[in-house]
Copies of this chain bind each other. A is one copy, B any other.
Amino acid sequence: MSHTPEKPRIGIIGTGAIGGFYGLMLARAGYDVHFLLRSEFNAVSQRGLNVDSHVHGPLRLDAVQAYASAADMPPCDWLLVGAKTTGNDSIGPAIVAAAAPGAKVLNLQNGLGVEEALRAVLPDSLHLLGGLCFICVHRTGPGQITHQAFGAVNIGYHSGPATDTAASQSLVEQGAALFHAAGIDSVAMDNLDKARWQKLVWNVPYNGLSVLLNASTTPLMADPHSRELIQALMAEVVQGAEACGHVLPEGYAQQLFTLTEKMPDYRPSMYHDFIEKRPLELDAIYVRPLAAALAAGQDMPRVRALFQSLAFLDTANRRAFG
Contact = CB atoms under 8 A, between A and B. Distances in A.
A213 interface: yes
Contacts of A220: 312
A305 interface: yes
Nearest to A282: B225
A306 to B, nearest CB: 7
Nearest to A305: B302
A124 interface: no
Nearest to A227: B308
A313 B233 CA distance: 18
Interface in A211-269: 212-213, 215, 219-220, 223, 225-226, 228-229, 232-233
Interface residues of A, number: 26
A311 interface: yes
A212 B212 contact: yes
Given A305-B302, A305-B306, A315 B223 contact: yes
A308 B212 contact: no
Interface string A99-128: 000000000000000000000000000000
A316 interface: yes
A225 B301 contact: no
A309 interface: yes
Contact of A229 (B215, B219, B309): B309
Contact of A308 (B226, B308, B315): B226
Nearest to A313: B213
A322 to B, nearest CB: 15
A55 B253 CA distance: 54
A315 B308 CA distance: 23
Contacts of A304: 232, 302
A133 to B, nearest CB: 28
A293 B305 CA distance: 19
Interface of A: 209, 212-213, 215, 219-220, 223, 225-226, 228-229, 232-233, 301-302, 304-309, 311-313, 315-316
11 contacts: A212-B309, A213-B313, A215-B312, A215-B316, A223-B311, A225-B308, A225-B309, A229-B305, A232-B308, A301-B302, A305-B306
Given A212-B212, A229-B308, A232-B301, 8 more contacts: A213-B309, A213-B313, A223-B311, A223-B312, A225-B307, A225-B308, A232-B305, A302-B302
